[in-house]
Structure 1
Amino acid sequence: MPSNESQPQAGNNAVLRNINPSYTGFDHIRWYVGNARQAATYFVAQFGFNIVAYRGPETGSHLSCSYVVTNGNARFVFTAPITSPNNTWDKRASGADRQQLDEIHAHLTKHGDGVKDIAFAVDDVTGVWEHAVQHGAISIQEPQLLKDQSGEVRSATIQTYGDTAHTLINRSAYQGIFLPGYQAVSGQDRLNDLLPEIDVIEIDHCVGNQGWDGLDSIVNYEDALNFHRYWTVDDKDMCSEYSAMRSIVMASPNEVIKMPMNEPATGLKKSQIEEFVEYYNGPGCQHIAFRTPNILQAVENLTTRGVTFLSVPETYYANMRKRLASANITLAEDINLLQKYNILIDFDEGGYLLQIFTKHVVDRPTVFLEIIQRENFDGFGAGNFKSLFEAFERDQEMRGNLLLACLFLWGKLTVRYFLSVLQENPLTYVLGKNTANLRKEVEENSQELRFKLAQPSHQKIQHPYDPASVHSIPSLNAVPMDIFNAPNNTETRPRPYHKRYSISTPGHHWL
């Protein structure tokens, strides 16, 4: 009989809702990494996973190796190259193996360690794949049947945002540990015998970061995969004083798979979403959330194992206590312990959510993890976004990536300028071009000039600019004010709801 690890069940929501969907949950998440053994061991040591399967030269894979690790129903696969690109000496490798080797090396060069494939468990691989391809999805692998002595697995793969893929898998006729070609790794890792257990139920959701206007990719989920918009929030609710983003959560028809998508929104400084896209060199998976039945115990044990989390200021909990009292919400957990472990809280009239975010688990500031506990609450912590953004910004500032941004926006054209704050004059414009060129560029590209003013993080603007003295700014005197005249309904992007320093004159519309 196969061990329990060999048959992780997808999310229980499908059973609870008494439906028989095409999607039955997350099957696994495959990472491309530089060292698969080391990555697997890291998740064993810090997150309490167990290595359950292996594929490498001993199993007939001569160009790459993979380790499969599980905790509860969450399953990660770490795949790494074991030869250099353009390897010609090993004649045993197939064409498909060489193609994957090139793909892994290209991924590592472009993105670093990161998520390559978010695999979905489905009950009809061919049906889901055919519908996806007929509705615009790009096929990476047509439906195929993989067999060994333990049975058969049917799978197919399509492309999603960036270089990420979705493999569709039906393993209902398979009794093996993972997939054909993998061998079981027996025995629990001895390190887990010495360290406290981490109780993970399943993967709750996987978040994808997009570039500017990248939320257009949700159309692929709607058309190709029959997903629907489960939850959405715009930049006025998802912002700090300096940065913002927009987010939409896509869900499978039966809502057992949830895929939040983020894109940056206009802000005073570079957002964590922009930072991700720059370091990852494109869209990709930002974080994976593990659902746990007891977040306090999980975080205490994770901390013991050496996991580091984002910190939350004390003012957050002072405000949260007032909000909970005002809403007459009672938590089963001790809020003092939640504060001790920096656990965030969100709630509505029906229930509440507890969540916490690790720091990045790779060298690039890209991928991190979330631990989440749901108590009759299906949201994604919208009430915590401001605090979460500020926590990320503190880390961004330490990396030197919380940069100033003075944005001139016209249509889809964005040009960044930097401003300095001087004691003698609240604002000194450093345009990097003369006013004649500025006027020409504005007249050619837009009817509206938008100023987003920024200041160094260690300084505060002491005197908000007086709109009445707009003509007294020397660097703007040479620019006729008629070019700033724009209809009041001109809008290129929804505006973040946070503090702005805006300039306006009678009859002229400014942001």
Structure 2
Amino acid sequence: MLWLKELPFFAWDLNFPEDKHSKFHSHYSSNAEDGIQSFFAVRLATSNAKEMAAYLCHIFGFTEIATRDLENGNICVCSHVLRKDDVVFEVVGTLETRSDTSYTKAKDKFQISHPPEGNFIDLETKILNFLGGSEDLRQNVHEALQYNGIRKLIDELGKLNQPVVLSAIEEASMASKINEFVSLHGIGVIDVAFEVKNVRNLYSKAISAGATIINPPKLSRDLNGGVLIATVGSPISDIHHTLVEFLDYNGPYLPSYAPAKSHTVEDREFVLQGIDHCVQNYHFGELIPSTNFYMSAFGLHKFWSVDDKDISTSNSGLRSIVISNLNEKVLLPFNEPVESKMRGQIEEFYDYYGGPGIQHIALRTNNIIAMVRSLKSQGLEFNTISDEYYEALKQKLTLLKIELYEDFEELKSHHILADVDQSSLYHLQDGKLRSNYILQIFSKPIHDRPTLFFEIIQRYNHNGFGKGTFKGLYESIEEQQKLRGTLTPTELGRSHQIPQEFRELESI
């Protein structure tokens, strides 16, 4: 078996305790030299953006800060931008469903005479002529004309300028990508946006590493100032990454977004300190290619890793590698399954998601108990943890004589997991022994497919990922798989279930 310590990353071992890891990087500034500064926003795609935005506002207490819709000039894509404290979500959808059939019928029926001499040309050629005749745009124009909103622009060409038409075609292209994404995945994360130092440099680096071009670097301005924006795609999945470089912009979100009509801020007992990490799931053999791509494209480095020696049950297991930017504000874990007797959570994700993608978003808070209590009161459900886990945790804390700041029984009642860093023990003035630790919990999936869910995490000077909580969280998902009936035997598992004499008969 290939263990992660043998994987082709760095020559030195990065699996040291997290407090040492933090000290090792203590000289790093908040400005990462690899170009990526922080998470900017997470973009969710769904068939009903308004409904999903309302759901997130209700559950988490987000406030809608900006929109894009028919009322402010959009014709293909709608968007609702939500913020709570230091976390921003953008929920996107399409204003109509693309239909190749309806486009073909309309094109056959609706021929337009544009030149004075009465020569008939089709819609594609008319727009291409308006844009200067570049054949490079024909495919984009072809896709754009599958939307009624774009076809209606034909009658307005004389009143429009080229940038407006080009922007509309770009919007239609994005609508096509959203339609394809939602058709395959249902609800999911289509884009993880980063705030960066230099869009053009990082864009070039990503394209050279094999990223696909979604939108090349472009200066976008409105009355609030300007930003440089580019979007690239992963060659291994359909995840996009928008790169945002702020110039002199001071608007609510980005240029071309209208401020939301209502800015009601709901007071909650907790603060969202940021997006802690976004976890991607891949299939067998995809872990190394995917992490290598992200390291090459964005200048990220290996942060932490575990394999099935640490994260497994008697039924299934996984390997995981976490990569990070230099200031460690962006953490990206990557998972892949290992051969097991049962189909684990990664295989289940693939079955219902239809490919690789983001399994969950981790939100960092200053008060996990208050947050979980609040989210439960709004209807969000969480995975449960066995009593055996808390018995073992209590024994460990007692043996080490460590006291947590939270009440142990309250953590247990909410099924919150804890992992302490034993190498960071210290005494308070009152003589109590403390250590750095993390608290974590997984929600149940937020829609009917068992694909997308949230993690809530609180950190006490523990910047890593604890093996104890990782394993406990993995086991909590496996228990949900049992309830869903998706923890089913693999070929390996079926072979183990068949008596030897019958396997010999089958091979004859």
Whether 2:308 is the aligned partner of 1:235: answer: yes
Whether 2:125 is the aligned partner of 1:51: answer: no
Q: Specify the alignment match of 1:138 in structure 2.
A: 212
Alignment equivalent of 1:378, drawn from 438, 454, 463: 463
Q: Specify the alignment match of 1:476 in structure 2.
A: 504
Shift in Å, 1:428: 3.2
Contact 2:77 2:172 in 1 (8 A): no
Distance 1:82 1:331, change over 3 A: same
Distance 1:185 1:320, change over 3 A: same
Shift in Å, 1:474: 5.1
Alignment equivalent of 2:85, drawn from 53, 72, 95: 72
Shift in Å, 1:137: 2.4
Whether 2:499 is the aligned partner of 1:428: answer: yes
Deviations 1:336-379 (A, max 9, x none): 11001100001112210001110001221101001100001112
> Aligned partners of 1:219, 1:23: CA distance in 2, in Å?
17
Contact 1:47 1:198 in 2 (8 A): no
Contact 2:440 2:469 in 1 (8 A): no
Q: Which stretch shifts more, 79-88 or 145-154?
A: 79-88
Alignment equivalent of 1:164, drawn from 222, 231, 239: 239
Deviations 1:379-404 (A, max 9, x none): 22321233222211221122211101
Q: Which runs of structure 2 are paired with 1:452-463 in the superposition (5 Å)?
A: none
> Aligned partners of 1:41, 1:16: CA distance in 2, in Å?
42
Alignment equivalent of 1:119, drawn from 193, 205, 212: 193
Q: Specify the alignment match of 2:31 in structure 1.
A: 20
Q: Which runs of structure 2 are paired with 1:70-469 in the superposition (5 Å)?
A: 70-86=83-99, 87-90=146-149, 91-92=152-153, 94-160=168-234, 161-189=236-264, 192=266, 196-215=268-287, 216-348=289-421, 349-350=423-424, 351-407=436-492, 417=494, 420=497, 427-428=498-499
> Aligned partners of 2:26, 2:50: CA distance in 1, in Å?
35
Deviations 1:106-160 (A, max 9, x none): 1111111100000010011111111222233222221111111110110111112
> Aligned partners of 1:134, 1:84: CA distance in 2, in Å?
34
Contact 2:270 2:367 in 1 (8 A): no
Deviations 1:174-196 (A, max 9, x none): 11111111111144448x36xx4
Q: Secondary structure at the match of 1:140?
A: strand
The one-letter code sitting in structure 1 at the alignment partner of 2:454 is L
Larger % of helix: which? 2
Distance 1:396 1:214, change over 3 A: same
- The alignment's TM-score, normalised by the length of structure 1, stands at 0.76
- The alignment's TM-score, normalised by the length of structure 2, stands at 0.76
Over the aligned positions, Cα root-mean-square deviation in angstroms equals 2.1
The one-letter code sitting in structure 2 at the alignment partner of 1:89 is N
Distance 1:359 1:474, change over 3 A: closer
Deviations 1:89-118 (A, max 9, x none): 332372222212221111111111100000
Q: Secondary structure at the match of 1:99?
A: helix
> Aligned partners of 1:385, 1:242: CA distance in 2, in Å?
16
Deviations 1:461-492 (A, max 9, x none): xxxxxxxxxxxx25427969xxxxxxxxxxxx
> Aligned partners of 1:340, 1:143: CA distance in 2, in Å?
50
The one-letter code sitting in structure 2 at the alignment partner of 1:361 is I
Shift in Å, 1:219: 0.7
Q: Secondary structure at the match of 2:53?
A: helix
> Aligned partners of 2:247, 2:337: CA distance in 1, in Å?
40
The one-letter code sitting in structure 2 at the alignment partner of 1:20 is N
Count of paired positions: 407
Distance 1:478 1:44, change over 3 A: closer
Q: Specify the alignment match of 2:156 in structure 1.
A: none
Q: Secondary structure at the match of 1:403?
A: coil
Instruction: Give unmatched runs, 5+ long, in structure 1.
Output: 1-13, 408-415, 421-426, 430-472, 481-511
> Aligned partners of 1:224, 1:316: CA distance in 2, in Å?
40
Q: Secondary structure at the match of 1:289?
A: strand
Q: Secondary structure at the match of 2:272?
A: coil
> Aligned partners of 1:352, 1:234: CA distance in 2, in Å?
21
Shift in Å, 1:171: 2.1
Alignment equivalent of 1:62, drawn from 75, 96, 103: 75
Contact 1:23 1:256 in 2 (8 A): no
Contact 1:239 1:385 in 2 (8 A): no
Q: Using CA pairs under 8 Å that are at least 6 residues apart, name the structure with larger relative contact order, 1 or 2.
A: 2
The one-letter code sitting in structure 2 at the alignment partner of 1:252 is N
> Aligned partners of 1:201, 1:244: CA distance in 2, in Å?
31
The one-letter code sitting in structure 2 at the alignment partner of 1:83 is E
Percent identical pairs in the alignment equals 35
Alignment equivalent of 2:53, drawn from 24, 40, 46: 40
> Aligned partners of 1:391, 1:187: CA distance in 2, in Å?
39
Shift in Å, 1:88: 4.4
Q: Secondary structure at the match of 1:201?
A: strand
Q: Secondary structure at the match of 2:482?
A: helix
Shift in Å, 1:172: 4.0
Distance 1:337 1:169, change over 3 A: same
Shift in Å, 1:255: 1.7
Q: Secondary structure at the match of 2:148?
A: coil
Distance 1:225 1:328, change over 3 A: same
Shift in Å, 1:83: 1.0
> Aligned partners of 2:477, 2:39: CA distance in 1, in Å?
27
> Aligned partners of 2:27, 2:53: CA distance in 1, in Å?
32
> Aligned partners of 2:61, 2:189: CA distance in 1, in Å?
19
Shift in Å, 1:17: 4.4
> Aligned partners of 1:475, 1:331: CA distance in 2, in Å?
53
> Aligned partners of 2:198, 2:476: CA distance in 1, in Å?
42
Deviations 1:57-97 (A, max 9, x none): 11111112100001111100001111121344332372222
Shift in Å, 1:15: 11
> Aligned partners of 2:507, 2:256: CA distance in 1, in Å?
69
The one-letter code sitting in structure 1 at the alignment partner of 2:195 is A
Contact 1:155 1:170 in 2 (8 A): yes
